[in-house]
Amino acid sequence: MTPGARVQAAIEILDEILAGTPAEKSLTNWGRRSRFAGSKDRAAVRDHVFHALRCMRSHAALGGAMSGRGLLIGGLRDAGVDPSQLFTAEGHAPGVLAEAELEQPPLDAESAEGLDIPDWLWPLFCKSLGAEAQAAAAVLRTRAPVFLRVNLTKIERADAILRLAQEEVVTLPHDASATALEVTEGARRVKNTQCYLQGLVELQDAASQAVVDTLPLQDGQRVLDFCAGGGGKTLAMAGRAQLSLFAHDVDPRRMTDVPNRAERAGVQITCLTTEELATTGPFDVVFCDAPCSGSGSWRRDPEGKWRLTSDRLEELVALQAEILDQAAMLVSPDGVLAFATCSMLDVENGLQSRAFVARTPGWKIAQEAAWHVQNGTDGFYVSVFQRTKTG
């Protein structure tokens, strides 16, 4: 496919997304009807689509329309490329620019529109991130790096770097965690490498790994991952100590992959239903990786940025509080409760944790940590609660 034809394909996919089809489904639909497209074409089209989704407000403004065509015209202008170079109508390229499309509309690059944050969210975003708000929003307009977690029960980090390099995946250690590697070349090959297939490495953001590093895990503990989902953090915990590990999720279907992933990593994880929690507890450590706005990972899920509403955020904050209250009851008398989100919003993080200790006698915040996208990782937050002596 020519560069122009790739742009036209992205325009069609974006129009489908704007009409309500999820991005992954639209890309799959296009892939099925475009057997002629090679792997490089598919990757390039996907990159166009995801870049447009990350920068949807600003690119629509620069392109003069919230449409696939407007987004691609705006995206080219944002990159300093004259769209007329690709909008030629030749070789399946999009049609030439109409009179009304020729002039670039003005855009304030420091406004919520220019920084691609919804207007309703911008005050909250600024309050949470202070002087870093603009920098964080700007990073959310870019593609996220790919990170791996080295399974230290199977291989040292330095050896994993060498083994991956033999399979043409180039990585560098990342200082967010002693298990983290940033992939600098060959990211698309990772899932086919023997290193991955044999469970020596897992795909996991570096901040997710760092969150698990903060948990006070020790050999012999009974540990519950209360919101386990696909078990990414349960597996990371398994790499930290010899634990009796339990995974739970209110939606057990989300844990479908946990047994296979555990087997690949060579660890044991027991999945529990909600009914089984009461009879299996209490636990020495209960970790809640709670459902949240996902604002720290909007580079990977840009549709989430535009889907979030203030009502939905309010619902999420209420759900997080409920989860903390339920999880606290499963902690043993000397145990620890931990709460994490992949959010950078204070209302889901520090304020949520302080509200928990304010309404729940007997608990204090022992530790808090946050990671922001400006430092290269996803945005994440964790708080670790301990019981007070009088509690």
**Can you give the chain as a three-state secondary structure string?**
CCHHHHHHHHHHHHHHHHCCCCHHHHHHHHHHHCCCCCHHHHHHHHHHHHHHHHCHHHHHHHHCCCCHHHHHHHHHHHCCCCHHHCCCCCCCCCCCCCHHHCCCCCCCCCCCCCCCCCCCCHHHHHHHHHHHHHHHHHHHCCCCCEEEEECCCCCCHHHHHHHHHHCCCEEEECCCCCCEEEEEECHHHHHHCHHHHCCCEEECCHHHHHHHHCCCCCCCCEEEECCCCCCHHHHHHHCCCCCEEEEECCCHHHHCCHHHHHHHHCCCEEEECHHHHHHHCCEEEEEEECCCCCHHHCCCCHHHHHHCCHHHHHHHHHHHHHHHHHHHCCEEEEEEEEEEECCCCHHHCHHHHHHHHHHCCCEEEEEEEEECHHHCCCCEEEEEEEECCCC
Are 86 and 97 in contact by the 8 Å Cβ rule? The answer is no
Task: Determine which one of 227, 271, 292, 342 is catalytic.
Answer: 342
**Site membership for ligand SAM, residue 283 (CB under 6 A):** no
Report if residue 278 touches ligand SAM, rule: CB under 6 A.
no
The one among 254, 264, 300, 354 contacting ligand SAM by CB under 6 A: 254
User: Which of 8/352 has CB closer to ligand SAM?
Assistant: 352
> Which distant-in-sequence residues (6+ apart) come within 8 Å of 220 by Cβ?
242, 243, 244
Is 301 annotated as ligand-binding?
no
Comparison of 250 and 351: residue with beta carbon closer to ligand SAM:
250
Beta carbon of residue 288, minimum distance to ligand SAM (angstroms, whole number): 8
Options 289, 346, 348, 378; binder of ligand SAM; rule CB under 6 A: 289
Q: How far is the CB of 260 from ligand SAM (least distance, A)?
A: 14
Of 4 and 231, CB closest to ligand SAM: 231
The residue within the footprint of ligand SAM, chosen from 173, 282, 291, 376 (CB under 6 A), is: 291
Q: Is 271 a catalytic residue?
A: no
How many residues bind ligand SAM (CB under 6 A)? The answer is 15
Site string for ligand SAM, 190-229 (x = CB under 6 A): ------------------------------------xxxx
Give me the least distance between CB of 344 and ligand SAM, in Å please. Answer: 14
Among 43, 172, 250, 318, binds ligand SAM (CB under 6 A): 250
Nearer to ligand SAM, 103 or 251 (CB): 251
Only one of the segments 67-75, 98-106, 249-257, 310-318 lies at the binding site for ligand SAM (rule: CB under 6 A); that segment is 249-257
304 binds ligand SAM (CB under 6 A): no
Per-residue contact string for residues 100-139; x = within reach of ligand SAM by CB under 6 A: ----------------------------------------
289 in a known ligand binding site: yes
328 binds ligand SAM (CB under 6 A): no
Residues marked active site are found at: 342
- Which amino acids are annotated as binding site for S-adenosyl-L-methionine, given as ranges? 249, 289
